[in-house]
A and B are shown apart, each in its own frame.
Chain A
Amino acid sequence: MRGIKEFLAPTNIEQVLEMLEKYQEKAVILAGGTHLALVKSSSAEIMIDIKKANLNYIKEDDNNIIIGACTRPVDIINNDMLKTFADGILVNAASKMGSKLTQNLITIGGNIASPFPWSSLPPALLVLEAKVSILSKQKNKIVPLQDLLKANPKNFINKNELITSIIIPKSSKNLKTSYITLSLTENDYDLVIVAVALLLESGICKKAKIALGSAISPCNTIDHIEPLLIEKKLSKEIINNVAKESITGLNLISDFRTTDEHRFEVIKTLVKRALENCM
């Protein structure tokens, strides 16, 4: 990247925040680099590499799982705890990101701070009701991921702020989940992503979250169909109805990768299949 005059590699989060406070829009944050490396030249003069600032971790406390912003898909895939957490939905989502090569580079923080419609993690995180921790030198904000995506991270996160971790409530541990996508090839950005998380008690659905990726902007949960599942025992009939209703009122992104008509059909199919997987 041309134009960068100085490369800084802070070794802890306090240093990072100090630098962001100091440089603001003069600085560009380097996490995974998979987007930044494509930028030929920049008006920013300082590059701050946050990968050595101890932000790559997967921890748990009493209430939450906390995943550091520089955690990569490969780290998620290899984590024993996440393999069984909520049916391993995060591992499923992480496995769909990029290729085995870029899974060593992409960061979860970068995936959220610069989301694309087809970003793989947000739908899985939304159904787990994830929150995002955003730090600056002065403030410590915790924001539901859903709100962050709605507000557009590029606008919401100030130049002196940094996503430091994703927080997932441990109460999501026993949710029945399913994560299904449609793409042209194994390594392709998905055309449609459906993530489902249900709280089932004796077969009755007590809580339901269904998120849609690569189809609507921003990635979001389909709230209007959730009531159709609550207090119901899952059956083929109910699932078919929910699937049919899932596309009502959706504002699809329009892209050259497939037609609206097709997306609507695929959303219905994937919602149906995801729910059937949870049955």
Chain B
Amino acid sequence: MNNQYKVVNKSVKKIDGLALACGKPVFTEDLSNKDFLCVKILSSTKAHAKIKNIDISKAEALEGVKCILCYKNVPRIIRTTAGQGFPEPSPYDSFMFDDKVRFVGDRVAAVAAINEEIADKALELIKVEYEVLEHILDPRDAMKDGAPVIHDEKECKVIIPIDYRPEKNICASVSAIVGDVDTALTNSDYVFDITVHSPRAQHCATEPHISLAYLDEKDRIVIVTSTQVPFHVRRIVAQTLELPVKKIRVIKPRVGGAFGSKQEVCFEDIVAMITLKTGLPCKLKYSREEVFVSSRTRHEQYVTIKAGLNKDSKITAFDMYVLSNTGAYGSHGLTVMCNCGSKVLPLYPTDNINFKGHAVYTNTPVAGAYRGYGATQAAFAMEIIIDQMAEKLGVDPVEFRLSHHIQEGQGSAIFQALGEGREGVEQKVKTCGLPDCIKLGAKEIGWKEKYYKPKDKGPIKRGIGIAALMQGSSIPEIDMASASLKMNEDGSFNLLVGATDLGTGSDTVLAQIAAESLGISEEDIIVYSSDTDMTPFDVGAYASSTTYLSGMAVKNAAEQVKEQILKVVSEMFMEKDAIYTFANKKVKSNSGKEASFEEIALRALYQQNQFQIGSIGSAISHSSPPPFSAHFVEVEVDTETGKVIVLKYVAAVDCGTAINPKLAEGQTEGAVLNGISYALTENYILNSYGKMLNPNFRHYKTLKMNDIKEIKTILVPTHEPTGPYGAKSVSEISINGAMPAISNAIYNATGVRLTDAPFTPDRVLKALKSKI
């Protein structure tokens, strides 16, 4: 642990923690009341159909119904719902309401009524005439000749140069070529080839999606919403309603988890439109079933990696192909797919790399952002291939990774080749704590003893596996964060940040960074975040950017404030060439003079040459320094039932400086469990018609407290020079380890390789039987 810092790298209490633990009314739903209209959405029962007609007259006539929206009475504006920077790399392929539906659960109409009962009755009174079309569910069918075209609307388009071919159901394609893979593979001593399948999954944030909207006293639309991206919401809602941005305010209160599912305009446009039309406040909250079906999911993917290896242990080439199922609409379709390559291929340097992929439309629930964002699905394939390479050479998988991973000072051609819709950014790895992550994690799990022990004789077999990982910290040259600081007369500060705390603790972490800079306690920083009227711009919580990028913006603001403070101090002390230090809420001169923050603030606000000590700091990044992690898992496989239990999971993480170690551990532990659950129990079960059969927690299983055995986190500190106080990101990387590490562990236990997740008992048993 770094002892040089006073506030940073300390596990201070989360500043909103006690209010949350006391049930204070801080979530979106708590901010509504009985006067808010209840908004409900009529969703499609068809996987693919034209709406020949919709009759809302009976529903409109129902007493208590205030507004009904459908394609007939809203502007036909094409946009993307993806919460990304403008110009968005996702296709513009969705309308507020369309006269076509593209998956079971697609929007058909919205009803606003004075209470839920009347809203439900109104939904039943809406008559929809569908002309059913052929549908496709499997991404492997999407590009075939004769496949039904899901986006045949004339308006759909991309606004940056992307390979967009909706007539072939191609939402995006990507291709990056380094060196000569074909020749390299031909000349390699060994060639490996694996295809893995990662399923669709749901984030299962405890708080369902919810938005409120009302008109303020100036008739501006105020949207209070559980979102990761308030500024993108404002822009996209303005675009959809054909209003200037200045007419809209978006506020994010406390959010009950998001994990990517709320990096989207799920229905803020609808509540905004309803409040505009009725003049009344309204509320829309998804039921759990609607969250499963109509919000967003992880991209189902088939990832194929071919790799070459020589007897001398040199990795000669990687050839990765990704088939990504983006569902009925293309939000995040290109960028998730690009991440498969950009966050996985650089980990093991080689001279020859092919990366290709297609993101395709199908008539299934819409895929969007989900923690890991493509790296999860691709690491699954990569970490199995690496294990296979080690096995081929008779080398310990831990040793193989230690001798092959990217080193400090190294770069990768992939960094430049793959950006987010545009060219990427060349960078060299400045900090890499992966060797220590691997060594410490291996020791903690007992690698040497367990990997080499003789196989268990009975039906219950134990095994052990490893996965090495990297991710990124923010999107270089594209994302921007800003923060404003102003000083109060008691020496405290208001810190206004656009950055979005989803429960992740960013309010706390950013307060710590500001406090460290200023030499005060984080308790003297009053944080207010995510309000498009009050807080300066931030792209929002995604791409693991908040600590790294928003943190730099906070630091920049603090540095500017310190300069202003010094200006006041120099007037107060009238010294020449003095050296000042900031500590303990004071400025001290090397002459011995000192002034408290309170004295400085009072002077600046009230007494002499008055001005408001305050500033706005902004930041963009020119690189995306990867955090690194090594995951180890010990599993127990019941070879007679197929059930797999995780006995112990160790995650060793290099996130640079952990600004708040307990919060960094918490992020890691949460991501790890989500990853284990994704590997073992979670699955969308769609019938042949595209209807989800298990849209509830009764049949979509996630792991609970009585399912876990032991999870251990080890933070490995490094000091990233481009990050605030040496920080990198931490929140996404640890969801990527479980699938490959568990697959590797099952192989170690039983000799059977699972490549199709989740590894449910029936799949494990089937694989075991086919091996015999």
Contacts and interface: CB of A to CB of B under 8 A. Distances in A.
Interface of A: 2, 40, 99, 182, 184-189, 191, 256-259, 261-262, 265-266, 269-270
Contacts of B766: 259, 261-262
B476 to A, nearest CB: 40
Contact of A185 (B642, B685, B707): B707
Contacts of B704: 99, 185-187
A185 B703 CA distance: 7
A182 B681 CA distance: 13
B694 A265 contact: no
B370 to A, nearest CB: 21
B762 A185 contact: no
Contacts of A261: 762, 766
A72 to B, nearest CB: 19
A189 B700 CA distance: 11
B144 interface: no
Contacts of A191: 761
Contact of A184 (B117, B693, B706, B761): B761
Contact of A256 (B694, B701, B765): B694
Chain B CB within 10 Å — which of A185, A261, A270 has the most?
Answer: A185
A191 B760 CA distance: 11
B120 interface: yes
Interface of A is mostly: loop
Contacts of A188: 681, 701
B761 A257 contact: no
B643 interface: yes
B699 interface: yes
A258 B761 contact: yes
Interface of B is mostly: loop
A270 B699 CA distance: 22
A184 B701 contact: yes
Nearest to B697: A187
Nearest to A189: B698
Contact of B117 (A2, A187, A189, A256): A2
A262 B642 contact: yes
Given A2-B117, A189-B698, A265-B765, A258 B760 contact: yes
A99 B706 CA distance: 10
Given A184-B681, A185-B681, A262 B706 contact: no
Chain A CB within 10 Å — which of B641, B643, B680, B699 has the most?
Answer: B641
B219 interface: no
Interface residues of B, number: 25
Given A188-B681, A261-B766, 20 more contacts: A99-B704, A182-B641, A182-B761, A184-B680, A184-B760, A184-B761, A185-B681, A185-B701, A185-B703, A185-B707, A186-B707, A187-B701, A187-B704, A191-B761, A258-B762, A259-B762, A259-B766, A262-B762, A262-B765, A262-B766
Contacts of A269: 640-641
B420 to A, nearest CB: 36
Nearest to B459: A269
Chain A CB within 10 Å — which of B694, B701, B702 has the most?
Answer: B701
Contacts of B765: 262, 265-266
Given A185-B707, A186-B706, A191-B761, A265 B640 contact: yes
B762 A182 contact: no
A270 B459 CA distance: 13
A108 B203 CA distance: 34
Interface string B742-767: 00000000000000000011100110
A74 B293 CA distance: 35
Interface string B674-692: 0000001100010000000
Nearest to B686: A256
Contacts of A99: 704
Contacts of A262: 642, 761-762, 765-766
Contacts of A187: 701, 704, 706-707
A186 B677 CA distance: 13
Contacts of B701: 184-185, 187-188
Contact of B699 (A40, A257, A259, A265): A257
A185 B673 CA distance: 13
A270 B703 CA distance: 23
Contacts of A2: 117
A120 to B, nearest CB: 14
A185 B699 CA distance: 11
Contacts of A265: 640-642, 765, 769
B504 to A, nearest CB: 25
Given A257-B699, A261-B766, A266 B707 contact: no
18 contacts: A182-B643, A182-B761, A184-B680, A184-B701, A184-B760, A185-B681, A185-B702, A185-B707, A186-B706, A187-B704, A256-B685, A256-B693, A262-B766, A265-B640, A265-B641, A266-B641, A266-B761, A266-B765
B201 to A, nearest CB: 14
A185 B701 CA distance: 7
A185 B698 CA distance: 11
Contacts of A189: 698-699
A185 B700 CA distance: 11
A270 B642 CA distance: 12
A186 B643 CA distance: 12
Nearest to A2: B117
A39 to B, nearest CB: 13
A262 B762 CA distance: 5
A36 B707 CA distance: 28
A180 B707 CA distance: 17
A270 B640 CA distance: 9
CB-CB nearest 4 A-B residue pairs: A262-B762, A269-B640, A186-B706, A256-B685
A182 B685 CA distance: 20
Contacts of B693: 256
Contacts of B641: 182, 265-266, 269-270
B133 to A, nearest CB: 25
Contacts of B640: 265-266, 269
Nearest to B677: A185
